Structure 1
Amino acid sequence: MDFKQIQELVKMVNKSNISELSIEQDKFKITIKQKDNEPQQIITVPAVSAPVQTVAQVAPVAQAVPVAEAAAPKAAEAKAADNLVTIKSPMIGTFYRSPGPDKPSFVNVGDDVAPGKVVCIIEAMKLFNEIESEVGGRIVKVLVDDASPVEYDQPLFLVEP
């Protein structure tokens, strides 16, 4: 294990709610502990995403519809996106929607989730970590492709509470 991997582990532990992490490989052993602070409160803020449009698509609409009427659908979309909760990645790794290649996905669009239900797996350093939902609701969108790399705090799912 090289120094850069150790730095990434320290960053991952600091940014997560893991209090202690121990890894043993051959003749190498490392233990990373977080100092005990006050309990942390995790607040998830929904991400507002607007559809991407090209200038060619926008120009004819802008000429045909008055400005006040064109703004109304965008306001409705923003309001609809405001009530969505984002499930984010608690670590760096590889995102998997199912427990195995021939197994069904943990959740699909339209499925109901409850707090504690496993929604995906993230593989980090050959360890498979089950990621559980912290909110209850219905999956509206899966934001990451299966078997793709994810970063810490990257949005994975949009949930309608």
Structure 2
Amino acid sequence: MDERDIENLMDKFDKSSMKEFKITGDDGTDIYFSKLEHAPVQNFASNTSNDVNNNETATKPATPKSSASKIKAPLVGIVYFSPSPEKPVYKNVGDHVKKGETVCVIEAMKVINEVKSPTSGTITKQVADNGDMVEYDQPIFEVEED
């Protein structure tokens, strides 16, 4: 695929109602477009504009917290923070969570899967929004461990 083909795909994707689009070219080039708010970052091709963005990202220092952990999606699907729209959420920011406690559910192929906390602590941040499509291993909550 050349640059003009990619630009044409981008233009058509922008004008469409699609939320995600992925294509693999005959030459092995993978292209992924997403209009999702929390789409995963994927680097497939390298050109000068991408190199500038990658260098900016690489120079940002990581500041991990010693006692912070993340509750991550165990599968790909749509995350919901309550068992049904009329019921209260499982956990809010500031709530204490115990290891093994259900914090949300993920719907995948019409099956509801509970997401349980791998640790005990206080939820400090909700990374995903209700109804978001989450990828495998994508953070959903940040937890300050006890």
Provide the TM-score with structure 1 as the length reference. 0.50
Alignment-derived partner of residue 109 in structure 1: 93
The aligned runs of 1:71-150 (5 Å cut-off) are 78=63, 81-150=65-134
Give the letter aligned to residue 63 of structure 2.
Answer: A
Aligned partners of 1:109, 1:148: CA distance in 2, in Å?
17
The aligned runs of 1:31-70 (5 Å cut-off) are none
Unaligned runs of 5+ in 1: 1-74
Q: Secondary structure at the match of 1:78?
A: coil
Unaligned runs of 5+ in 2: 1-60
Give the letter aligned to residue 113 of structure 2.
Answer: N
Runs of 4+ in 1 over 6 A off after TM superposition: none
Q: Secondary structure at the match of 2:63?
A: helix
Larger Rg: 1
Provide the TM-score with structure 2 as the length reference. 0.55
Q: Select the structure that is richer in helix.
A: 1
Aligned residues: 85
Render the CA deviation track for 1:32-82: whole Å, top value 9, x for unaligned: xxxxxxxxxxxxxxxxxxxxxxxxxxxxxxxxxxxxxxxxxxx9x936x33
C-alpha displacement of 1:116:
1.0
Identity score, percent: 46
C-alpha displacement of 1:123:
0.2
The aligned runs of 1:1-20 (5 Å cut-off) are none
Alignment-derived partner of residue 49 in structure 1: none
